[in-house]
């Protein structure tokens, strides 16, 4: 399966309308984005391998303007399954620098998604030892379920979380990545706070939308201060009928705050997890197979584009929808669906797209 097929279809549909774009200070050759897919190519220590480098290079040679590398763990406890890419130690920078360089040489900009830190659970009234807390995966049964009470999350825990994200972003910048993406959706830590699914934390991070967005905005301010030259993309879930979703007005407000606090772009994607619905605390990291209706999904991206001053990325969407979105001006960039990933390469190495040799 070659990534060029998706890109060629959209390029042919748009023709001359497929223009260059810009996210912050990063100039892109076109408005097509390839998504973060977990390839399974990282080694046991979380470092990028040659198959991963070749895979990302092949995606870039396909013609996209931006290639988003798979989610990378910002700290060791969040690498819950192997092999998963890491940004938790300076040792990974050298190999990632090679990966980013190969993507740049193929003509695309390179971004990397930072997976949220796993918060340590502070010892509670029962006298439990502090340990990394993992939200359980409903379908696979992963993670540890606390007995009858939510984890106690201290301000020091949150400060360590922000520090882990910042350290990961610093390593991404050292490796030569143009952008980093913060997933505020899909059961990731920042999304759990935003949707009210992180009880047990200090009061100033609970309740009102301003409080629930505090961790995200604190992180953005810190990144802007420490890494002013690095572009930050914030990925938000589009509102839907799922009980954990933000409503449209809340989503617009969060996007405005993120843009005003330093986000270089807002990425609107589908909603895949719930958090706020529970009247009492219960751990959840569910992935319901109910995609957001295409019309609602794209219309919300179009609304955001008119409300904020930074570019809007939408997707992943199919080839026909991607061409229509750009032609109608509903978003500034589109992320394409249908790119090989999700572990297929690890199970079938022959499926790795091979870089075209220069003739």
Per-residue pLDDT, averaged over 121-140, amounts to 40
So what's the pLDDT on residue 142? 46
Structural domain of residue 92, as residue ranges?
4-351
Among 276, 219, 268, 220, smallest CA distance to 248 is for 268
Q: Give per-residue pLDDT as tens, 162-218.
A: 999 999 999 999 999 999 999 998 667 888 888 876 778 889 998 999 999 999 999
CB burial readout 315-332, b (16+ within 10 A) else e? bbbbbebbbbbbeeebbb
In a domain, 88, yes or no: yes
So what's the pLDDT on residue 251? 93
Angstrom distance (rounded) from CA 173 to CA 180: 8
Could you tell me the CATH number of the domain that includes residue 252?
3.20.20.70
Per the listing, tokens 């010892």 go with 123
What is the value of pTM for the model shown? Answer: 0.81
CB burial readout 118-141, b (16+ within 10 A) else e? bbbbbeeeeeeeeeebbbbbbeee
Per the listing, tokens 């109608």 go with 328
In a domain, 357, yes or no: no
In a domain, 179, yes or no: yes
Number of domains, the chain: 1
In a domain, 356, yes or no: no
Mean pLDDT value across the chain: 78
In a domain, 359, yes or no: no
In a domain, 200, yes or no: yes
Per the listing, tokens 């042919």 go with 12
- CA 78 from centre of chain: 14
In a domain, 358, yes or no: no
So what's the pLDDT on residue 277? 35
In a domain, 302, yes or no: yes
Rounded to a whole number of angstroms, the distance between the first and last alpha carbons of the chain is 22
């Amino acid at each position: 399966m070659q990534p060029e097929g998706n890109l060629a279809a959209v390029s042919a549909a748009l023709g001359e309308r497929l223009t260059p774009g810009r996210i912050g200070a990063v100039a892109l050759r076109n408005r097509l984005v390839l998504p973060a897919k977990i390839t399974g190519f990282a080694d046991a220590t979380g470092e990028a391998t040659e198959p991963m480098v070749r895979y990302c290079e092949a995606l870039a040679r396909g013609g996209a303007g931006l290639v988003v590398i798979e989610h990378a763990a910002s700290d060791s406890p969040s690498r819950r399954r192997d092999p998963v890419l890491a940004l938790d130690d300076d040792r990974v920078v050298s190999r990632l620098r090679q990966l980013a360089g190969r993507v740049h040489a193929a003509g695309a900009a390179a971004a990397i998604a930072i997976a949220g830190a796993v918060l340590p659970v502070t010892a509670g009234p029962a006298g439990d030892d502090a340990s990394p807390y993992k939200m359980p995966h409903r379908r696979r049964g992963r993670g540890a379920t606390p007995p009858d009470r939510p984890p106690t999350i201290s301000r020091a825990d949150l400060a360590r979380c922000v520090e882990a994200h910042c350290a990961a972003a610093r390593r991404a910048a050292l490796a030569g990545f143009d952008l980093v993406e913060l997933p505020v959706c899909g059961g990731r830590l920042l999304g759990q706070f935003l949707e009210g699914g992180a009880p047990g934390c200090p009061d100033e991070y609970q309740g009102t939308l301003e409080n629930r967005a505090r961790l995200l905005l604190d992180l953005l301010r810190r990144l802007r201060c420490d890494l002013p030259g690095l572009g930050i993309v914030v990925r938000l879930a589009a509102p839907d009928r799922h009980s954990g979703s933000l409503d449209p007005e809340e989503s617009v407000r969060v996007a405005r705050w993120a843009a005003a606090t330093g986000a270089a772009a807002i990425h609107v994607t589908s909603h895949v997890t719930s958090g706020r619905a529970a009247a009492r605390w219960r751990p959840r990291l569910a992935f319901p197979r109910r995609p957001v209706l295409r019309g609602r999904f794209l219309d919300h991206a179009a609304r955001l584009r008119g409300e904020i001053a930074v570019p809007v990325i939408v997707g992943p969407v199919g080839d026909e929808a991607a061409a229509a979105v750009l032609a109608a001006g509903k978003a500034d960039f589109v992320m394409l669906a249908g790119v090989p990933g999700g572990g297929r390469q690890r199970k079938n190495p022959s499926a790795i797209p091979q870089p075209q040799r220069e003739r």
